[in-house]
Structure 1
Amino acid sequence: MDGLGLIINVRLLLLAWFCHRSRPGPISFLKCFSYKDIKKATDGFRRIMDNPSHGSAYKAKFQDGRIALVKEVKAFSEQKDAFYREVQLLGRLHHRHIVALSGFSTGRKRFLVFENIENGSLKEHLNDPLKTPLNWRTRLQIAVGVAAALEYLHFFCEPPMYHVSISSSTIMLDENFTAKLSDVGLLSSGGTHVILPHASCSNECVGLACGNMIFQLGLLILELVTGQSSEKGDVDLIEWVQESRSQKSIHKMIDPDLGNSYDSKELKGLLAVARLCINSADKPSFLIPQIFRYLQKKVGIP
């Protein structure tokens, strides 16, 4: 057996041991909050940040001064063990571009408590006229950061996490405007559990999930470039990026908040990546790490 084969076998044995030893239940390094704590910290659930179908998100301020992002989890209402397994998986995620889980609540409702993200969501900064517009370099760093997070979730997590909600409303920005994914391993919009280990999912299923992640990344890049969302219906961004090639067409769509403070070469590279992601949705011809490296090369960000 060669060295690589030995390493893979050792990893599989360690994973099997961990899965055998792991039992559903609270995690010692995560704080358990009461329903009363959550209600008070969110001002009676009035500090709403987002309201998707699978559970609202709130900004919370606890008595000890802790500021946090709180997400309601509507799934697992009758499955306490399943909720604890979800908490265990999310609690083990450690990446610069993923919002860290710091606590949970299993009271009248179920909540996940995440680290505070000082600058709110990317959506706020793209749409709120009172916010200082994001500069070109920051937008490039956000795109690269999200791609790095996807690579981590796909290739460095056990089990891998294939379904992630990627949009301007689920990407949070910290005090340095570092992008962090906030909707990982929870629920898809269809209400199905989305943490899928290799063993429980066919190659076709994995391929579709990866294609969806890549497609969402492409849409996000278009949002960063244009300041618009394809969800609004103002313009068909997908059709535009697939058909536009002329300088005039491209520059007409740039977010007005950017003015002329962008690099034309980097812009072309970014749109090339977006086009690649959009066209790879059904049958991905590239893996996420390849997209990530290609994006880094195109925009010159390590």
Structure 2
Amino acid sequence: MYIKVSRNDFSLLNSPVTSEIGLRCSRSDSSDFRTPKKRSVIKYPLGFAAAVGLVEIVCILLGWLYMFRVHKTSFDFDSQGYSAIPLGFKKFSFAELKKATNNFTIKLRKGAFGSVYKGVLADEKVVAVKRLEGVSQSEEQFWAEVSMIGRVHHMNLVRMYGFCAEGHHRLLVYEFVENGSLDKHLFTGSEPLGWKERFAVAVGTAKGLAYLHEECLEWILHCDVKPQNILLDGKFSPKLSDFGLVKLVDRESAFSFSKVRGTRGYVAPEWVINLPITAKADVYSFGIVLFEIVIGRDTSDQSRNLVQWVSKKMEEGKLLEDVVDAKLNGIVDMEELETVVRTALFCVDQDPSSRPSMSQIVEMLSG
């Protein structure tokens, strides 16, 4: 079969324009043919890298989930108060703590924020379980506040082991401090403390408060410094309890609370006249505690006249005869005694700005 082509048509096929079009088409076809091969070569390494990245992300998430779910931890802190590794801070169930305290049978003491009971955990660790009263935060809010207290670690502060936030139950689990509170050793005839132990209690308590006021990541006011909240361990070293339960505030601010906090006789005068509350309110309360360490009796109902009386006796040189606790039988280091009394007088100044800071008090007592 033959097709008839004119010479004009034949010349058109052989023209330069036609040749250029054909060349372009052949190049285009060749480029389109090679592109899938290049894409397939790049596709596999990218896919592998994406898969490895996804696996790493999943592993990290599983690791965090394991630490927080299995160990139920918060944070462990070094001597400076900064986080080291998640360890030891546990969330307890109410059933666990009810069993540990034998249905809250042995009450150790009652404070402004609730009662404290002795308990024994499943691992046979003896603890003190504080059952809080008047706390209505959600579990998330409660956890946020308690985790801050759990970060605080100092040798003169009671250590917290964990908490319970279940339904309406709000409980804190602390270390058990063997020798109870300071008031039992000062105000009763049983197991009176010698002067050496009393002076060590004064210095140690000052160090604990200085840590709360000036060394923590957050400024913590105690607002209820009194002998009942100063616990003594097996060596009669002091450990301040119930810190951080009132309010956590910004280090730079001072403000008024909605109501007076603390215990009558230890409350600074600025509470009553509604002045801004700062760390100097704790300093005033600590000053009253220093007087009681020297005198050996509860002076909370005599605090108004206490300062004038002690000042007069100091001027007369009759501290040892008329002021010092008779249970000490005159066995007192006079230089330390005068240091404690002078420091106490500075602490209870009516003007908050004239009171020393707790770090200055530590220097005064130690120096």
* Alignment TM class, shorter chain as reference: 0.7 to 0.9
Q: Cα deviation per residue 1:126-150 (whole Å; 9 max; x = unaligned)?
A: 23333x2111111111111111111
Any idea what SS the aligned residue of 2:228 has?
Answer: coil
Aligned residue among 164, 173, 190 for 1:113: 173
| In 2: Cα distance, 1:43 partner to 1:179 partner | 28
Contact 1:214 1:278 in 2 (8 A): yes
The residue aligned with 2:145 is: 86
The 2-side partners of 1:296 and 1:45 are apart by 41
**Could you tell me how far apart the structure 2 residues matched to 1:156 and 1:78 are?**
27
- Relative contact order, higher structure (CA 8 A, sep 6+): 1
Unaligned 5+ runs, structure 1: 1-24, 188-193, 298-302
Of the candidates 287, 292, 306, which is equivalent to residue 218 of structure 1?
A: 287
For the residue of structure 2 that corresponds to 1:77, the secondary structure is coil
Following superposition, the deviation at residue 208 of structure 1 comes to: 3.1
Q: CA deviation at 1:262?
A: 0.6
CA distance in 1, matches of 2:328, 2:102: 36
Offset of 1:78 from its aligned partner? 3.6
**TM-score normalized with structure 2 length:** 0.66
- SS of the residue 2:111 aligns to: coil
Inter-CA distance 243–230: structure 2 relative to 1 (3 Å threshold): same
8 Å contact 1:123–1:168 — kept in the other structure? yes
Measure, in 2, the Cα distance between the counterparts of 1:199 and 1:114: 29
Q: Give the SS at the match of 2:278.
A: helix
Aligned to 2:251: 198
| Offset, 1:200 | 5.4
Higher helix content, 1 or 2: 2
User: For 1:240 and 1:45, how far apart are their aligned partners in 2?
Assistant: 43
Distance in 1, Cα, partners of 2:328 & 2:155: 26
Mean Cα deviation higher: 197-206 or 167-176: 197-206
Q: Match of 2:347?
A: 277
Query: Match of 1:87, as an amino acid?
Result: V
Decide which moves more: 252-261 or 27-36.
27-36
Where 2:123 maps in the other structure, the secondary structure is: coil
Q: Measured at CA, do residues 243 and 294 of structure 1 come closer, stay the same or move farther in structure 2, by a change above 3 Å? A: same
In structure 2, C-alpha distance between the alignment counterparts of 1:38 and 1:231, rounded to whole Å: 34
Map 1:25-174 to 2 at 5 A.
Answer: 27=74, 29=87, 30-107=89-166, 108-130=168-190, 132-174=191-233
Larger radius of gyration: 2
CA contact (8 A) 1:167 1:220 kept: yes
Superposed CA RMSD in Å reads 2.8
Counterpart residue type for residue 204 of structure 2 = G
Kept in 1, the 8 Å contact 2:117–2:130? The answer is yes
Question: Which residue identity is paired with 2:184?
Answer: E
Asked if 1 retains the 8 angstrom alpha-carbon contact of 2:254 and 2:276, the reply is no
TM superposition score normalised by structure 1: 0.79
Corresponding residue of 2:364: 294
Query: Cα gap change, 1:26/1:79 in structure 2, threshold over 3 Å: closer, same or farther?
Result: farther
1:119 Cα deviation from its structure 2 partner? 1.1
- Distance (whole Å) between structure 1 residues aligned to residue 356 and residue 304 of structure 2: 27
Structure 1 residues 200 and 218 mapped into 2: Cα distance closer, same or farther (>3 Å)?
closer
- Which of 170, 173, 179 is matched with 2:238 structurally? 179
Percentage of pairs with the same residue: 30
What is the CA–CA distance in structure 2 between the aligned matches of 1:288 and 1:47, rounded to whole Å?
35
> How far apart, in 2, do the equivalents of 1:92 and 1:255 lie?
38
The answer for the alignment partner of 2:65 in structure 1 is none
Cα deviation code 1:212-270 (max 9, x no counterpart): 11111111111111111222559943342243322335521211221121112221111
Compute the displacement of 1:92 (Å). Answer: 0.7
1:251 maps to which of 321, 335, 358: 321
Q: Distance in 1 between matches of 2:304 and 2:255?
A: 36
What are structure 2's unaligned runs of at least 5 residues? 1-71, 75-85, 257-269
Match of 1:17 in 2: none
Q: Distance in 1 between matches of 2:303 and 2:251?
A: 39
Once the two structures are overlaid, the 10-residue window that deviates more, 242-251 or 32-41, is 242-251
